[in-house]
Amino acid sequence: MTTTPVTLLSKRSGNTSDRPLDTTIQAGELAINFAAAENGLYFKDSVGAIRKVTGVHYGSSAPNSTPAGETGNSVGEIWVDSGTNNFLRVWDGSSFIKIGAAFADAAGSATVTIASGAIVANSAVVASGAFGSIVASGSLGAVTSSGSLGAVTSSGSLGAVTSSGSLGAVTSSGSLVASGLAIAVISGAFPSVPASGVFGYRVDPPSGLYVSFGGGWVPAS
């Protein structure tokens, strides 16, 4: 006995953007659009809305933008917008919104804020976490630093100060606290004058800190 195979076909259409009408299918019934340009599998949900099951639409126009059947889109439907930098968009029930809309889309000027471990550009967080050294230009406030420094050139109430070696903390402009500086202890007559710039502390009157300068010793303060 020869049997004839039975072919079961769902409601279907080969027209582009031809989605089933909510009046043409029953709740839970499937309908297929097999058009090459825009296709998908659809069903009607328990509240009568047409829902798209499969496929991510790729193109410069939104899916179902020129409907041949049911109008509108399904909540959660995804579209890759090839006309605008391949942005990924999703239908929220009223419009296609861009995923990650808070991030900058292209290079350009931006207002950048660095605070609380995050870099924010034009209200979008572009980086967060631990940062290494930050090199910045512009107006800076007071700088407090300690440790080993190279040559330091500064101006202020002390005049130009040039120094190198191991320094303590540089606390503010106009004052300098130094450690590790060699100072000779002087008792009695001043020794022969060495090169200018040598410090010595005289312990007997007139006691105090002296520095060699111009062939003699002068008070350092």
Domain, as residue range, for 211: 166-221
- Confidence class for position 50, pLDDT limits 50, 70, 90: very high
pLDDT for the residue 31: 95
- In-domain check, residue 125: no
- In-domain check, residue 112: no
- For the chain, the domain total comes to 1
- In-domain check, residue 74: no
- In-domain check, residue 205: yes
**30 - beta bridge partners?**
43
pLDDT in tens, 9-31: 899 999 998 999 999 999 999 99
- The 8-class DSSP code of residue 191 comes to P
Cβ-proximal residues to 25 (8 Å cutoff; 6+ apart), any chain: 11, 31, 42, 43, 44
**Ranges 60-69, 157-166, 194-203, most confident:** 60-69
CA angle (65, 71, 74) in 5-degree steps? 85
Cα dihedral value 162, 165, 171, 174, nearest 10: -20
- In-domain check, residue 184: yes
Tokens encoding 124: 């979008």
Tokens encoding 152: 């330091």
Across the chain, mean pLDDT equals 75
| Cα separation, 72 vs 60, whole angstroms | 17
- In-domain check, residue 8: no
| Cα separation, 97 vs 78, whole angstroms | 10
Q: Are 14 and 38 in contact (CB under 8 A)?
A: no
pLDDT for the residue 119: 73
- In-domain check, residue 29: no
State how far the alpha carbon of 156 is from the alpha carbons of 78, 148, 160, 172, in Å.
Answer: 64, 22, 7, 10
- In-domain check, residue 154: no
